[in-house]
Amino acid sequence: MGSAADMLKPTEAAVVARVALRDVNRVIDERILPEGFFSLDDGRRIAATACTLISFYFDSAKRLTSEERLFAIREIGRRLYKSRAALAVLVDEDWIVRDDFLTIDLAPFVQRTKERMERLAAAREMVVSDPEVLGGAPVVRGTRVPVHDVAASVAGGLPMDRILAAYPLLDMDKIELAAIYAEANPARGRPRASNELPQGAVVVTDRPVPRRRKAR
């Protein structure tokens, strides 16, 4: 198992592996993930390298049988566990598994995990939380822009140009990182109602929008 710094929350593992949160829990509950790649002590934690196995298991479901996928996970799992190296080093190793006539290369999944972990690390670095700023809500470093507000705009399908116009202190990269951070760290409870705009946000339009009447 990796160091404490390499252990992810289930929501973080879901972001890195690009799967649903329920899939992360499934690979643990159904023992798809080998022992040593997760911990159940004081909450679930998943090794960063395990995201390679999780991503492979679900992405290859349409091409490989369950038995073939589990075989590859066992073989690659042994190599990952034995290596204990950083992802930046692991990408240069051989991740091919052979079983009779079947050949599976997990190198693309190792590379993807490395890239997603780097984005998650960048998102963590960009976000700060200070009790003196918006009651401790996560904000983009150097601003008072709430990360989850930005992420909600992205999730709601708001065009990027409108998001950029609403948050002129941000660029496309920061908006993407905000979405990654919010997905990895979902806000708890219902958002507080407020009539104030966060610092850095501007009004795109003040045209009133009539409420839709419920169909009878």
Which pLDDT tens digit goes with each residue over 100-129?
889 999 999 999 999 999 999 999 999 999
Compute how many other C-beta atoms are within 10 angstroms of the C-beta atom of residue 95.
21
User: At 96, is the pLDDT very low, low, confident or very high (cuts 50, 70, 90)?
Assistant: very high
Residue 186: closest CA among 136, 160, 215, 148 = 148
Encode pLDDT of 134-160 as tens digits. 888 999 999 999 999 999 999 999 999
**Looking at per-residue confidence, does 126 or 84 come out higher?**
126
**CATH for 129-207, options being 1.20.1050.10, 1.10.10.10, 3.40.50.11240, 3.40.50.20:** 1.10.10.10
- Are 68 and 104 within 8 A, CB to CB? yes
pLDDT at 216 over 90: no
Encode pLDDT of 6-62 as tens digits. 799 999 999 999 999 999 999 999 999 998 899 998 889 999 999 999 999 999 999
Domain extents in the chain:
4-120, 129-207
Residue 148: closest CA among 160, 137, 159 = 137
CA 117 → CA 18, 20, 114, 143, 184, distances in Å? 11, 17, 5, 24, 11
Q: What is the three-class DSSP state of 128?
A: strand
**Interatomic CA distance for residues 121 and 86, integer angstroms:** 14
